Amino acid sequence: MDWIENLKELFKKTFNDEVEKIENVRADGSNRQIIRFISKNRSVIGVFGPDKKENRAFVEFSKFFYSKNFPVPQIYSFDEEKQIYLETDLGDTTLFNRVKELRTDENFPDELIEYYRKALLWLSKFQIEGVDGFNVNWCYPRKEFDEQSMMWDLNYFKYYFLKLGGIEFDEQKLENDFKVFVDYLKNAPRKFFLYRDFQSRNIMIKDENLYFIDYQGGRYGFLAYDVASLLFDAKIDMPPKMREELLNYYLDIPLVKSVIKKDEFLKYYYYFVFIRLMQAMGAYGLRGFYERKTHFLTSITYVIKNLEYLLGVVKPEIKIPEIIKVFKRITSSSYLRQFSDKKLGLNLRIYSFSYKDGIPPDPQGNNGGFVFDLRCLPNPGKDPLYSTYTGRDRIIRDFLDKSPEVNEYYKNCFELINQTISNYLSRNFTELYVAFGCTGGRHRSVYMAERLYRDFMNRKNVYCILKHLSLEKANL
């Protein structure tokens, strides 16, 4: 191949050295060709990029950040005409690799958390110190993550993911929502460097230090986009608790606090999470559905899991009903879930409630699961001896355990739920809602919810979340 020979010539010209060995380096979704050149004296990465403007952006950004002592590859030489360049060999270990190596369960060990803190600390420097002397004329394809850039991402999502993934939508209503969405996001301050693809595969680990690559899409933009890229990195499958802890760590970095208040950041944060996820889904659709590179499709179920989480915790201040409908259709798609390369596990959300307060809404928005009416069962609350206790107390458990009606009812509930859980696990569905209701929400419903929780708390790949809504309301 001509480009390999051209890189060999550039290597010899740059180092006055002969290449003895070459190795292919995986470029993931990039169209670039990446080769490791090894001689007696050194190992160097050689790159051929078919897009001249993208090459120029990466090379100039690298030189600029390297001059600031940021941990980026050094550019040894660049032949713009032949679209090739030589850079530092940072090895093959990415943060993504290290997560897969060290993570053994849902939790991240302290070593991984420390890597992420270092990454966020460096991110703040790229974003804030990185704009001092930054030349926007290097940016490609745009100088700013503006309305046009956002609409490109949203339409990328619509045409490559929704259409090719078989998700139904009303095109005009979706376009209307896109406009509302962009009109809101364009008000976020965009005076910072937006890295654009700040995720675990673009963070290298060499000699236990972090190095950063693939920022050629950088431009001016808001801080939250890059934070969302790292914390909602699909296949990392980061636990929500850790995600929140790292977000708070980032917001407490002095450099970040010096340029933005926490409330101002959070005003826009989850909307940038949404647009980042939509951009990622567009990329998976392009590479997976359109280009038939099926390994990209294995990320889809992780994005679905993130969407389910977001639908449960984010209450949009802006009206984007068609976007929300599309998200819900994505999360309920059996077709999209089939591409997973692992079992994601099931969140079993168990609620007790009082019918006086109404049936609790499904926080994930899937409108599935079970609501069981326990008002047909013996009520210990009618007896003054039991009225001050709750279904968590031994005296109430003993009372209800002795009832054949209660045990028969629970057995039927358990069998339905167990059958559904087995089915959902096999299909990679990650959410199941179960609610038990009684008159006051204190005795029978609490007892049943606690009993179900105990029976499933140790089930493999099932993660139980238990909430007693009436007891919480009464601060009990």
Where a domain ends, among 51, 68, 88?
Answer: 88
Pairing of strands 219-221, 346-354: unpaired
Cis, bond preceding 254 (omega within 30 deg of 0): no
Predicted pLDDT of residue 127: 98
**Residues 176 and 280 occupy one common structural domain:** yes
Q: Cα–Cα distance between 323 and 274 in angstroms, integer? A: 10
Mean pLDDT confidence for 242-266: 97
Residues 176 and 30 in one domain: no
Residue 260: closest CA among 275, 250, 270: 250
Question: What is the pLDDT, as a whole number, of residue 17?
Answer: 93
Q: Is the per-residue pLDDT at 340 higher than 80?
A: no
Q: Using an 8 Å Cβ cutoff, are 363 and 312 in contact? A: yes
Write the pLDDT tens digit of every residue in 150-162: 999 999 999 999 9
**Domains: count for the chain:** 3
**58-67, 214-223, 364-373, 452-461: range with lowest mean pLDDT:** 364-373
Asked if residue 104 and residue 74 are part of one domain, the reply reads no
Residue 220 is classified by DSSP as E
Q: What is the pLDDT of residue 281?
A: 97
pLDDT of residue 386: 87
pLDDT at 332 > cutoff 90? no
Q: Is the pLDDT of residue 367 over 60?
A: no
Beta carbons within 8 Å of 468's beta carbon, 6+ residues apart: 351, 352, 390, 392, 441, 445, 446, 449, 476
- Provide DSSP, 263-317: HHHHHHHHHHHHHHHHHHHHHHIIIIIIS--GGGGGGHHHHHHHHHHHHHH---S
Given a cut of 70, whether residue 227 has pLDDT beyond it is yes
Are 276 and 298 part of one and the same domain? yes
Co-location of 211 and 289 in the same domain:
yes
Q: Answer yes or no: is pLDDT of 365 > 70.
A: no
How far is 3 from 16, CA to CA, in rounded Å?
A: 19
Q: Residues 35-87: pLDDT tens digits?
A: 999 999 999 999 999 999 999 999 999 999 999 999 999 999 999 999 999 99
Strands 192-194 and 219-221: antiparallel
Same domain, yes or no: 221 and 192:
yes
Domain boundary among 41, 70, 88: 88
- State the chain's maximal CA–CA distance in angstroms: 94
- Could you tell me if 79 and 109 lie in one domain? no
b vs e for 406-444, b when ≥16 Cβ sit within 10 Å of the residue's Cβ?
Answer: beebbeebeeebeebbeebbeebbbbbbbbbbbbbbbbb
Reply yes or no on whether the pLDDT at 28 is more than 80.
no
pLDDT in tens, 143-190: 999 999 999 999 999 999 999 999 999 999 999 999 999 999 999 999
Judge if 12 and 113 occupy the same domain: no
pLDDT at 362: 77
**Whether residue 234 has pLDDT greater than 70:** yes
| 157 & 243 share domain | yes
Domain encompassing residue 360: 346-473
For residue 358 the two structure tokens come to 């109404």
Residue ending a domain, among 88, 120, 155, is 88
What is the model's pLDDT at position 364? 61
pLDDT of residue 453: 97
Q: Is the pLDDT of residue 138 over 90?
A: yes
Statement: residue 27 has pLDDT above 90: no
355 plus 312 within the same structural domain: no
Distances (CA, A) of 226 to 217, 229, 272, 304: 12, 5, 9, 20
Model-level pTM?
0.81
Mean pLDDT of 248-277: 98
pLDDT digits (tens, 9 = 90+) for 96-127: 999 999 987 777 899 999 999 999 999 999 99
Q: What is the rounded average pLDDT for all residues in the chain? A: 94
pLDDT of residue 385: 87
pLDDT for res 31: 81
CATH number assigned to the domain comprising residue 275: 3.90.1200.10
Model confidence at 295, in pLDDT bands (50, 70, 90)? Answer: confident
The CATH number of the domain where 48 resides is what?
3.30.200.20
Whether residues 355 and 458 share a domain: the answer is: yes
Same structural domain, 240 and 329: yes
